[in-house]
Amino acid sequence: MIEIQIRSECQIAEDFHLIHGEAACTGCRNTVMSALKYFDVPIVAIGLTNPKNSYECQIITRHTQSEVLYKKVVLKKGKIIGLILVGDIERAGIFFYLMKKGVIVDGFKEKLLYEDFGLVTLSEQLRRSMLAEALMP
């Protein structure tokens, strides 16, 4: 049941991008972040998590058997276009910001799924921009 809800929401986003073309994907301003708990496990899904044209995308994942942890990030042309976080959802806001702003993450994409990924991983300029926006009234 949960899988169907996540896919249907991503299908809506994918249809939007297909209708409006590549330019609609640059800022992902219309993308929503879905968060839920399933058997006390937090889950976040953002954007296109299962793109139809996956050959155009790079998909990076991380999961562990010992704890409930799964992370999947979908990249296209160096930008995040979708992700799923299961278990550890603390950094969902950072991922959402990077996606919404169309930040090219090629320089640190291998660090996106590390446990210690956070604001300190980002460049000083990007951190300042992100924090300035957060402090704006």
Residues 6+ away with beta carbon under 8 Å from 61: 70, 71, 72, 73, 113
What is the structure's pLDDT at 80?
92
Backbone conformation region of residue 13, classed left if phi is above 0, alpha if psi is from -120 to 50, else beta: alpha
Amino acid at 83: L
**Do residues 131 and 120 make contact, with C-beta atoms less than 8 angstroms apart?**
no
Quote the pTM value.
Answer: 0.71
What's the topology of domain 2-135?
A: Enolase-like; domain 1 (3.30.390)
Mean pLDDT of 42-68: 83
What is the structure's pLDDT at 11?
46
Q: Where are the domains of the chain?
A: 2-135
More confident residue, 115 or 19: 115
